[in-house]
Chains A and B, each alone.
Chain A
């Protein structure tokens, strides 16, 4: 650990990095998995929602800029891991954020319209406006909305329940090696 790196500030800066497309933090989205400091090196591990996510470069840039803002002397190593990403990786806060921005987090077995909470919804194929989204419309209120698509989703979303990974429980992600 370096004397000059303000740990809390780094942790907060990383936690505040937002997804380029949806106003939700990468931490709440479950994309930011781990970060650790060894000497003057900060290692940040990210997992894309789908392997082909075209926003990976921008996410990486934002992570680097966030760290540079609070600890410019640190060398940042960003690692993209090809792990599974599922809706269970989204934090509770993240699910609320998604709903408030017109997304179904895809956690419950039943799809629900984020605008009227109706369950009479129709899926329009498996591919939406970007590779991590599935398009729906609501027969009750007529709204269109999208659900985030898991990297392991074939046609059905992951089911809720079971132990949550640390990033989805809001536990601190930054550790010192």
Chain B
């Protein structure tokens, strides 16, 4: 870990909270999307892995919401009641995968980004709170899991084209990934380059694996901060996902599901 011992000079507490909330939203969305694969996948061991990673993404989301100051009631409202237009998920997680290679590509890139962001947020927060270190370690296990799949699918000529295609498309959707954490303006002012540098290193690795031609096709952004996130709107895949989540509450208001805690 490379955390600074004290919060970064000039760290803006409110900006850090907003960043934590936005990233928590991404984790919640991805964790929920991932959960649909628990029963879709035919391999028992993979179902267990996907289930565990899904639970951990949801738990990380809650840990970040709490550290951003959201109470249990506010978390409940955010998930079950607030307008979906309040949610601005990263494009990388906004479109749930429908085929396995695409989920591998999405999970691999997102878990790497989670490691970078958790490490960055840890450097901006109270250094006595080790939850960010734990999140990095837990997400690292996810990275390794997805990486094994990347290597397996890329290593077989029968599966390689589909994964390259998925990675190409997913890389193309990362232009807004770090935007809430590092608003483009702060990057232009050189506020903090550590996060960008660590994410760029991951991007380069992904690009090396898919080859130059695919990288050129993807138009993969270098900075991942320039894209504008857009709110969830009717007709989006995530609107359907939230519809299923909220259906439980609307049909059975007497059931009090707590947001994962």
Contacts and interface: CB of A to CB of B under 8 A. Distances in A.
Interface stretch (A17-25, A102-110, A149-157): A149-157
Contacts of B49: 125-127
B55 A152 contact: no
B134 A127 contact: no
Contact of B45 (A57, A125, A130, A151): A125
A53 B71 CA distance: 20
B97 interface: no
A3 to B, nearest CB: 34
A155 B130 contact: no
Interface string B40-64: 0000010011011101111110010
Query: How big is the A interface, by class?
Result: 20 to 34
A57 B260 CA distance: 10
A59 to B, nearest CB: 12
B63 A127 contact: no
A51 B141 contact: no
Nearest to A131: B52
Contacts of A56: 261
Given A82-B131, A126-B145, A154 B137 contact: yes
B165 interface: no
A17 B56 CA distance: 25
Nearest to B137: A152
- Where chain A touches its partner, the secondary structure class is loop
Contact of B56 (A84, A131, A152, A155): A131
Contacts of A128: 48
B56 A82 contact: no
B130 A84 contact: yes
Query: How big is the B interface, by class?
Result: 20 to 34
B261 A127 contact: no
Nearest to B60: A51
Given A52-B55, A131-B56, A154-B144, A82 B138 contact: no
A50 interface: yes
A78 B144 CA distance: 34
B134 A84 contact: yes
Given A126-B141, A127-B145, A151 B134 contact: yes
The 9 closest A-B pairs by CB, nearest first: A82-B131, A52-B59, A127-B49, A52-B56, A52-B55, A152-B137, A131-B52, A127-B52, A51-B59
Interface of B: 45, 48-49, 51-53, 55-60, 63, 129-131, 133-135, 137-138, 140-141, 144-145, 258, 260-261
16 contacts: A51-B138, A52-B52, A52-B55, A57-B261, A82-B63, A82-B129, A84-B130, A84-B137, A125-B49, A126-B49, A126-B141, A126-B145, A131-B55, A135-B48, A153-B141, A154-B137
Given A82-B134, A131-B52, 17 more contacts: A51-B59, A51-B60, A52-B57, A52-B59, A57-B258, A83-B134, A126-B144, A127-B45, A127-B52, A128-B48, A130-B52, A131-B55, A131-B56, A135-B48, A151-B134, A152-B133, A153-B137
